[in-house]
Chain A
């Protein structure tokens, strides 16, 4: 296989030509196989699948021009270089139209042959890489579709199974006793499914080309609004929420809704994965054209081995503390995507049973100059 990677097949009826091609190319490090007619050459090509073929156009029997499409039938990625003794533009163009990569008019120097073969090999390498990448992308896409379907199916299956059993065992005393509990679970799972669909939509919209505003946003205000929304929920858990952001210090350019979603997700996590009587603190600073806002909790923390994975779609930490909380596994991927959209990032520092700190880095808002404004308006 590794030998075939550097193999060049030369097809030429002229013995002297075959010999000189072999000498020149072997000196450059290629493995060379030579053949005196098209039929033999094609047999070898089908067997060896070489990256590159050099073929003389004018041969008795199968001509070079006829060999080209047959090589492409074997593998369209094989690069074909034609040698032509009567280098008219017309024959060269015809050969290229048939799928040849380039042509070499006789007589040619050793350097000319080497150069064209090296370029052809490079071309083959690139084509091979992009084919490989295409296959991998397709595999990823298929696996991902399977994965998303599974995530959507899971709560539905649980609900369906409960209903099936309720229908089947309607009159049994065990089921009578558990009926209420099961209905509650069905509702919970329905909410879970709705949450997944909602988050999935948000994520897809962020990926799309939706027109988003780029306006001056003071994060102090956004964070303040979000914390106010959760004040009651936090109080029920005995949590203290604190906004330490100063007005007009952490100011960015972005979409108000997207930035709200970002900080909403982080703050909800900080509340959900906290402990009774804990704190959620939002702090910020600016410098070097960037702002840094941290959302800190005093909760269960994230085991180190999971920290790299929490921004992956549908990943959820498995652990005693996380088991009881619901989540879609899409909140943090959404945060990451929003931050990246405006050239920022989200990172995490966490210690198990101590707490987690998520830091959002965003480019700071800069007053546009008159010229930039004009350019932005397309004038």
Chain B
């Protein structure tokens, strides 16, 4: 089997989380759910995930991007900066359209962007690849 993924899912839709949890757990991966950005950030230290699945639109439109930016750039989350973040949204929107300046876009660009609903096979592939990458980063 591939590297076991320890996935933190930050998403406010309990049904979406229930279904992708089933898919990931069926492959032996661990899934922890946080239903808002704040809780997600809080659970980082406790869970020490090797993959983060992050919803774009939660309480407000930019909540997902805010969490992404915090993990990648804020000192408080320095230890988690290299965890691959996969962002998910039901509408295709690139950060380039949401933000004006290129520097702002670079600050919030996720490692990967997937559109909901996600094909289960593809989700497993993407998560396993991200977990493998996180593993090799940790060893390096």
Contact = CB atoms under 8 A, between A and B. Distances in A.
Interface of A: 143, 146-147, 149-150, 153-154, 156-162, 164-165, 168-169, 172, 174-175, 178, 182, 185, 189, 318
Interface residues of B, number: 23
Given A153-B91, A161-B116, A164-B19, 6 more contacts: A147-B61, A153-B90, A157-B16, A158-B15, A169-B22, A174-B26
Interface in B47-70: 57, 59, 61
A153 B26 CA distance: 26
Contacts, number: 63
Nearest to A174: B22
B90 A185 contact: no
B57 A150 contact: yes
Contact of B91 (A146, A159, A175, A182): A146
A211 to B, nearest CB: 36
Given A147-B61, A150-B90, A185-B15, A157 B117 contact: yes
A154 B25 CA distance: 23
Interface of B: 13, 15-16, 18-20, 22-23, 25-26, 57, 59, 61, 89-91, 93, 116-121
Given A150-B57, A164-B120, A157 B90 contact: yes
B90 A154 contact: yes
A185 B22 contact: no
A149 B91 contact: yes
A285 B71 CA distance: 56
Contacts of B120: 164-165, 168
Nearest to A158: B15
Given A150-B90, A157-B117, A161-B15, A175 B22 contact: yes
Contacts of B23: 165, 168-169
A169 B26 contact: yes
